[in-house]
Structure 1
């Protein structure tokens, strides 16, 4: 594997959600420890599943990985990091200041901005604090999905520039200035931009949308002074696994066309390809095989003579499952409302959201399809919408949101200030914290719009969405404190908690880890009094007619995850793995038709 040849001290794995960053990061750590290196594996994903991969409890403290000498791991937990951050500020003065002032400071430090900064400070410690990482030969970062990671990688430069300009981040509370972090941020920037110290590996699937996202990521990294050094194409279906199966042939050909079409920055980056495995990437044995140089895929011997029917028997999914179309028809009965597709990155939220929006528009409803994912591109999934006049599409772009927010603040609040006051306001608005506020305002507008029409929202991957929910909760608490008894009001959180107004659709894959993460997301939502309305299991091989031994083996693994979702879901739709990528209105309509094509056209 070229991306592991003569590795520098820091290795970053980043890419769109669901491409296998965690598996490859964990497998890389296992391989380096096998070579006698001491390795620290750091997850910056708010929805980390490193512990699940190793079958161990990791958490937010550096913890030895059981059964593997030389490997420690840590999962940066945003909530825990924020608690510790607040306590470092409040603890020393708790016995000195009045109780109401302590409460005020605590509230100022309760928003998502504090959560982001606390996580960010932990991240920079691993890059810049030699005392934390001195014992390790390598530090491997398993990052959050692309949009969240780009934000994280921008922050060292953003905060350094803000401090250089003399700014003081008032959003962090009255006693928590950032000047003391200047050296740490500067060291983090130096480490990130030095190819001798940091290797940045883009991970993608051999699919057009995934590769387009990787290309965009490479370009945006370059814009902030970072250079992607390697590309890993994960889960490539090998030729010898196709046999006589039309579905496998369609998948293989689609993947190879996408790889051949690579151009620009990605075409020049050293590339590794990793075969699709016949087993889930959980446990040390699976991780050791993933990056092995042998000629055997885990659980599936290589054979050039695969025959129809070879491989595992595939039990048909049992239980009360619905077609996606029946879910949409039930939604349509209300005439308006908010539909939020949530889940881990890479499970197909964008596809399912677009299919739901198209079907609602076909049923004659006005529909606004939008995304809160910084890395999402609905225009790639939903093309040629001329025959859907009632459908509009938008995207909450963080860059546009912060620009609009700053302009609005200067035009309203700034209009009442003198020159010195306007200069101070302009400086304060340059704080990176304001981006979360700006995005939340756009989100709130869309939530309220669902009172008159359908708003179908493709949300960011789990961790980023939970931060948005945190902002929503903080705003709700703030509004309630300011209202006199008996006054009527409606906050965005109240809209989300109303099952007649908001329908949460949890999208997942028929695999153990994505299902566990979907259930964890459900628990997080329930704690905020938000109840999921339905679940969608996407890309299920077990409801196709595949005869490929490798695909059948993977299909057989789906039975237990599907049963787990069935036990939890008030409503469940299972969407098959499609021969053709569901891009464009026609193919999206197929997802909500009575018959979904699961073999190649003409077969």
Structure 2
């Protein structure tokens, strides 16, 4: 067993950055750490730059951009910076001067470039860079805790030389994330100071928060590698939610424990050169000062019914079979499973494919999932006549896309401009675009069967591709192309009579909030999701494990939230995800 995370022994620097995938518990961990440090007599400031922040919910107090004291904890102060608002202001500052002067298609491309996650992250970085360099503020605190650290990609972008405007005027490589940095040259020195502070191991610790599940562990490993490449070496891994002891005669409890232990084998192999600690899996909700204190002190609180939501709400939701019937009865031809990593969308896609094949529906499943057991399971002889699969390698597709763009747009660029272009191609959007183009080809060749696509692009990426096409037509340039397959698939995605988007979430705060943002993002691209799937619910099992059943009770408000706003909503019980 790993040592438990204890701020008193694990924290040694004045600046702490918590990072990790959505839903791993980084905000709860950051808040509990801040309380523990304040109780040691330190004066602590915690700052959230997460666009889906629930900092005020965790502390149960209203927070704004202005620093205020957290009630009930002497010496603890907090502020909740809003990067979404900063991103809106920044978009207007960049685009406003060009309105009425440039063609609408060009303005649409600029606006979409400035509508993605990169822009929000850079706006957040701008906010805490300003905060970090204000000595009259930082000098007041012993420790400053940042909830949500920037990615390595964003930090590399910001560390590049600042001549964005000229390069953007000449750039013709189409869908891009370069836009967020246009006009930021004046802040180069500020960003350099911030990156230097981040890289100083005596000043900053990076705390990578993950869950004992393979997907978030691998994501944490990628983040660790990216950040080390730019000099952020003072890292440690916190495995949040590790079950300490299962109930021997409870099937769900034993399966949950076994799955976590297998994931931990991956974590130990992957993170063999940085400190690793853990926090226990608990039954109660981490909202309010008392539960946060109890979590680090090892106390076990009583589970209370949250918000008095009626457990019978489970019976009012659809089950998996009703989802299958909907696909068959409405002759849906293209199905996308969408959601953040770790919510189980790949396994859901595979399960749906198998069920349709069992009902004599011809199905093709295409996925980016690296897990070999899915491929093995789906080649079972009883299903071979109705089910085919293809596995897309994101790395290969990205390398092919990068090579194509560099060949088309790299010639004649200066060394500085080439650095911009190469870093732009490290953007998360690049992988979405490259993989989506591959998916588009598969869909274009499969009109005679139901096609199920795992890991679909966000609304931002779809609009970016659409805008790049319009941009190309407007400027008559040859290198901003969007393939015919993609051009044909965008209208198809928007056709609700043949295409269904399934949003997959977990019944927890962050996954639901992020799924809501994804839903809104898709509607911006004129795509309305057909189903919401609440996946891996303990409230929908018969476990007698006190901790797991307690978690099930705390799922109910989030289940209610999804049910109250979504017309088609299904719930699936927690399963080990073993398809064999």
Secondary structure class of the residue paired with 1:234: strand
**Which of these residues, 324, 330, 350, is aligned with residue 326 of structure 2?**
330
Shift of 1:410: 5.0
Structure 1 residues 370 and 71 mapped into 2: Cα distance closer, same or farther (>3 Å)?
Answer: farther
Partner of 1:187: 193
Secondary structure class of the residue paired with 2:58: helix
Partner of 1:582: 577
Task: For 2:58 and 2:190, locate their aligned partners in 1 and report how far apart those are by CA, in whole Å.
Answer: 31
Partner of 2:350: 354
**1:231 has 2:233 as partner:** no
Shift of 1:237: 2.1
User: Which stretch of structure 1 is more off in the superposition, 166-175 or 216-225?
Assistant: 166-175
Secondary structure class of the residue paired with 1:99: coil
Structure 1 residues 49 and 378 mapped into 2: Cα distance closer, same or farther (>3 Å)?
Answer: farther
RMSD between aligned residues: 4.3
Pairs within 5 Å for 1:382-397 = 382-384=374-376, 385-387=378-380, 390-397=388-395
Task: For 1:465 and 1:230, locate their aligned partners in 2 and report how far apart those are by CA, in whole Å.
Answer: 31
Shift of 1:233: 1.9
Shift of 1:392: 0.6
CA deviation string 1:186-232 (max 9, x = no partner): 33332333221221222222344444444454445444443363222
CA deviation string 1:15-69 (max 9, x = no partner): 343221221122222333344444443444443333443345556x345365256
**1:14 has 2:15 as partner:** no
Pairs within 5 Å for 1:332-411 = 332=328, 337-360=333-356, 363-371=360-368, 377-379=369-371, 382-384=374-376, 385-387=378-380, 390-397=388-395, 400-401=397-398, 403-411=399-407
Shift of 1:445: 5.3
Partner of 2:112: 111
Partner of 1:589: none
Q: Is the 8 A contact 1:77 1:119 kept in 2?
A: yes
Q: Which runs of 5+ in 1 are unaligned?
A: 302-311, 372-376, 484-488, 587-603
Pairs within 5 Å for 1:82-93 = 82-89=87-94
Pairs within 5 Å for 1:27-106 = 27-56=32-61, 58=63, 61-64=65-68, 67=71, 70-78=76-84, 80-89=85-94, 94=97, 99-101=100-102, 106=107
Pairs within 5 Å for 1:141-290 = 141-143=146-148, 152-161=151-160, 163=162, 168-170=167-169, 176-227=182-233, 229-239=235-245, 242=247, 244-256=249-261, 258-259=263-264, 262-264=267-269, 266-290=271-295
Task: For 2:416 and 2:220, locate their aligned partners in 1 and report how far apart those are by CA, in whole Å.
Answer: 39
CA deviation string 1:388-430 (max 9, x = no partner): 5611121544x853x434432454567xxxx747989856633
Task: For 1:556 and 1:238, locate their aligned partners in 2 and report how far apart those are by CA, in whole Å.
Answer: 20
Shift of 1:110: 0.8
**Which of these residues, 282, 291, 302, is aligned with residue 299 of structure 1?**
302
Shift of 1:123: 0.9
Shift of 1:130: 0.8
Shift of 1:347: 2.6
Secondary structure class of the residue paired with 1:263: helix
Q: Is the 8 A contact 2:215 2:342 kept in 1?
A: no
TM-score between the two structures when normalised by the length of structure 2? 0.77
Q: Is the 8 A contact 1:278 1:553 kept in 2?
A: yes
Task: For 2:92 and 2:204, locate their aligned partners in 1 and report how far apart those are by CA, in whole Å.
Answer: 32
Q: Which runs of 5+ in 2 are unaligned?
A: 172-177, 477-485
Task: For 1:408 and 1:41, locate their aligned partners in 2 and report how far apart those are by CA, in whole Å.
Answer: 44
Shift of 1:547: 1.6
**1:26 has 2:23 as partner:** no
Partner of 1:307: none
CA deviation string 1:140-176 (max 9, x = no partner): 23338xxxx6xx2233224434559998444667994
Task: For 2:15 and 2:289, locate their aligned partners in 1 and report how far apart those are by CA, in whole Å.
Answer: 22
Task: For 2:459 and 2:43, locate their aligned partners in 1 and report how far apart those are by CA, in whole Å.
Answer: 33
Q: Is the 8 A contact 2:506 2:536 kept in 1?
A: yes
Secondary structure class of the residue paired with 1:347: coil
Partner of 1:600: none
Task: For 2:391 and 2:37, locate their aligned partners in 1 and report how far apart those are by CA, in whole Å.
Answer: 46
Secondary structure class of the residue paired with 2:436: helix
Q: Is the 8 A contact 1:279 1:298 kept in 2?
A: yes
Task: For 1:165 and 1:567, locate their aligned partners in 2 and report how far apart those are by CA, in whole Å.
Answer: 45
Q: Is the 8 A contact 2:309 2:557 kept in 1?
A: no
Q: Is the 8 A contact 2:250 2:544 kept in 1?
A: yes
Task: For 1:400 and 1:4, locate their aligned partners in 2 and report how far apart those are by CA, in whole Å.
Answer: 46
Secondary structure class of the residue paired with 1:382: helix
Secondary structure class of the residue paired with 1:8: coil
Shift of 1:449: 4.5
Partner of 2:480: none
Q: Is the 8 A contact 2:206 2:235 kept in 1?
A: yes
TM-score between the two structures when normalised by the length of structure 1? 0.74
Task: For 1:174 and 1:245, locate their aligned partners in 2 and report how far apart those are by CA, in whole Å.
Answer: 51
Partner of 2:134: 131
Secondary structure class of the residue paired with 2:111: coil
**1:502 has 2:499 as partner:** yes
Structure 1 residues 513 and 57 mapped into 2: Cα distance closer, same or farther (>3 Å)?
Answer: farther
Task: For 1:210 and 1:434, locate their aligned partners in 2 and report how far apart those are by CA, in whole Å.
Answer: 20
Task: For 2:407 and 2:265, locate their aligned partners in 1 and report how far apart those are by CA, in whole Å.
Answer: 50
Structure 1 residues 321 and 438 mapped into 2: Cα distance closer, same or farther (>3 Å)?
Answer: closer
Q: How many residues are treated as equivalent by the alignment? A: 540
